[in-house]
Homo-oligomer: A and B are copies of this chain.
Amino acid sequence: MNNKQLRKVRIKEIIRDNIISSQDDLLKLLRDEGFSLTQATLSRDLKKMKISKVAYTDNTYRYIIPKDSPSKPKSGNRGFVSLDFSGHMAVVRTLAGYASPMAVLMDNSPSDLFIGTIAGRDTIFVALNENNINHEKFRIYLENLLSDNED
């Protein structure tokens, strides 16, 4: 294991075991352990590891390790297969059985972009808002819904 990999492992451990509220905090701890690096490198490491600062309930900021961080196969898009459009209708194809829960997800994240969904076994019809038809935005909406919201 080279220095970079070792460093990354320690970064995760430190963040798991400490309250870190800035990159400089973390930088100091790493340097105390003998690592030699700068904030710039740390910023890059954290980006690669998807570790980021979030607001905590105690009104402070902390760095946290995302729950799904450990190289999760991106195939886990909740059964998503494809998205196509037909006029005012978006058609989402899913793996067998996934259409209904995905439609429920959408129903629970309402948006101006659509006015309703109906799901079969592996297909969802989404009635888009005729005053606000924007395929690209709907695609982004769905992408965010499916990737931001893992179990």
Contact = CB atoms under 8 A, between A and B. Distances in A.
Contacts of A99: 100
A25 interface: no
Interface residues on A, range: 35 or more
A111 interface: yes
Q: Can you tell how many copies of this chain the complex includes?
A: 2
A2 interface: no
A110 to B, nearest CB: 8
Contacts of A86: none
Interface string A94-110: 01111111011100110
A92 interface: no
Given A101-B97, A104-B96, A151-B76, A47 B55 contact: yes
B141 A16 contact: yes
A67 B149 contact: yes
In this complex, the member of A47, A52, A100 whose beta carbon has the largest number of chain B beta carbons within 10 angstroms is A100
Interface in A6-54: 13, 15-19, 46-54
